[in-house]
Amino acid sequence: MRRYNERRRILVTGGAGFLGSHLIDRLLERGDEVVCADNLFTGTKRNIEHLLAHPRFEFLRHDVTFPLYIEVDEIYNLACPASPVHYQHDPVQTTKTSVHGAINMLGLAKRLRARIFQASTSEVYGDPTVHPQTEDYWGNVNPIGPRSCYDEGKRCAETLFFDYHRQLALDIRVARIFNTYGPRMHPNDGRVVSNFIVQALRGEDLTLYGTGEQTRSFCYVDDLVEAFLRFMDLPAGEDGAPGFPGPLNLGNPGEFTMRQLAETVLRLTGSRSRIVHRPAPADDPMQRQPDITRARERLGGWEPKVGLEDGLQQTIAYFDALLST
Ligand code: NAD
Ligand code: UDP
Ligand code: UDP
């Protein structure tokens, strides 16, 4: 791989967000140079505040729907609002971010012959009729509903990644990320883990949507970032041919109903909040659980290590500190 100096220089788009900021911490820890490109739509400077003076870190306020001409060795493309509340706030911009963002980052990767990682999502499976979801399942997605800007945007991004791979031999790594949680989630982003914890800590009612019997499988952020690095570091093929492109499901297969999650959060916070029901959002998937057989095989026995209660404790501690500042 070509290097711009003796260190790897890595671009992380969406690096001021929840997952991106944890990824950058790990990249800097292992000695890489990092350029973070983010328009701060859902990300915040607070997530990268501790890095601003770091000699190997650089922040660019940049929107990935516009071209970006810089020199790097590798790209992690994470820029995109991820919570339903945020991505439905400006759905046209969400599709543009996924699709134009992918085109620009793939164009950059093509010019540089750089390896490029795409943060795709379990939402490409929609409301799945196959359970648990394997990578060869094509999904059950509504193309015209309120979630479509995100789901179809991410599906189109996958199409672009695989076409640049086939047509131009670009070395791509497409990860389908399942629900992930941890410190630095946005307190108001409306995702279930942050909502329940913030509500419990404030003594407000926990808002359980629909029956509460729908399921999700929650992965702690450190386990996920470890998988990102292992996936991206899989070697290229013979004579510099692209390595394994994925798609690869990444997540924790432990599956819980939203009612179980609400009860667990109440127990761990010792909160006296009540659980109240709210209508289910449109097209809310009823069940979700990753089949991670392929990730285990490909990523040298990678396995999520942090159980839900341990991860929730750390996340509760984060929000507790945040809310008291
Ligand atoms: P996040 O909202 O915390 O981070 C997204 C970041 O992208 C933010 O910093 C935001 O400001 C930035 N961004 C948004 N639009 C942009 C644009 N046009 N140009 C530049 N930056 C832009 O969300 P997250 O949970 O950290 O998600 C990161 C990525 O992982 C997203 O692509 C998301 O779709 C994907 N993902 C996350 C999860 C999860 O459970 N956390 C699950 C599946 C997929
Ligand atoms: N691009 C970019 N940075 C680069 C190279 C390309 O942002 O270093 C953008 C460019 O604006 C273009 C997109 O990536 O719109 C796709 O580039 P590609 O070369 O694949 O397509 P083309 O320019 O031939 O349409
Ligand atoms: N949910 C809930 N209460 C909330 C927020 C979400 O019951 O305050 C439910 C939501 O309906 C969905 C699940 O929790 O069934 C996960 O929602 P989230 O927005 O976190 O992620 P996604 O739907 O994208 O998996």
247: cis peptide before it, omega within 30°? yes
CA of 157 to the centre of ligand 1 (A): 14
In the predicted structure, residue 60 carries a pLDDT above the cut 70: yes
Residue 4 lies in a domain: no
- Report whether pLDDT(189) > 80: yes
| Confidence at residue 239, expressed as pLDDT on a 0 to 100 scale | 84
- What distance in Å separates the CA atoms of residue 164 and residue 166, rounded to the nearest whole number? 6
Could you report the per-residue pLDDT of 150-160, keeping only the tens digit for each?
A: 999 999 999 99
Per-residue pLDDT tens digits for 158-175 = 999 999 999 999 999 999
pLDDT band at 32 (very low <50, low <70, confident <90, very high): very high
pLDDT of residue 6: 80
Task: For residue 95, name the pLDDT band (cuts at 50, 70, 90).
Answer: very high
> Does residue 216 lie within any of the structural domains?
no
Asked whether residue 133 is domain-assigned, the answer is yes
Residue nearest to atom 25 of ligand 3 (CA): 179
Q: What is the pLDDT of residue 325?
A: 83
pLDDT for 4 beyond 80: no
Residue 26: predicted pLDDT: 98
pLDDT at 151: 98
Decide: 68 in ligand 2 pocket, CB within 6 A.
Answer: yes
CATH of the domain at 243: 3.40.50.720
Name 279's Cβ contacts closer than 8 Å, sequence gap at least 6.
Answer: 209, 210
Tell me the residue range of the domain where 177 lies: 9-181+221-252+290-305
Planar angle of CA 319, 22, 230, nearest 5 degrees: 140
Say if 297 falls within a structural domain.
yes
Q: Can you tell me which atom of ligand 1 is nearest the CA of 97?
A: 18
> Which tokens go with 65?
């729907």
Percent of the chain residues past pLDDT 70, beyond the cut: 98
Q: Is 258 in the pocket of ligand 3 (CB under 6 A)?
A: yes
Instruction: Give residue 1's pLDDT band: very low, low, confident or very high (50, 70, 90).
Output: low
| 265 within some domain | no
pTM above 0.85, yes or no: yes
| Cα–Cα distances in angstroms (integers) from residue 323 to residues 198, 262, 309, 317, in the given order | 8, 19, 21, 10
The model's pLDDT over 240-295, given as tens digits with 9 standing for 90+, comes to 899 999 999 999 999 999 999 999 999 999 999 999 999 999 999 999 999 999 99
Distance, CA 17 to ligand 1 centroid (Å)? 6
Report the domain count for the chain: 1
Whether 290 contacts 132, CB under 8 Å = yes
Active-site residue numbers?
150
Residue 310 lies in a domain: no
57-61, strands of its sheet edge to edge: 57-61, 33-38, 9-13, 74-77, 115-121, 172-177, 248-250
- Atom from ligand 3 closest to the CA of residue 195: 8
**Radius of gyration of the chain, Cα coordinates, nearest whole angstrom:** 19
pLDDT of residue 64: 98
Residue 205, in any domain of the structure? no
Each residue of 213-226: pLDDT tens digit? Answer: 999 999 999 999 99
Ligand having the closest approach to the CA of 63:
1
Q: Is the CB of 70 under 6 A from ligand 2?
A: no
The verdict on the CB of residue 119 being under 6 Å from ligand 1 is yes
In a domain, 42, yes or no: yes
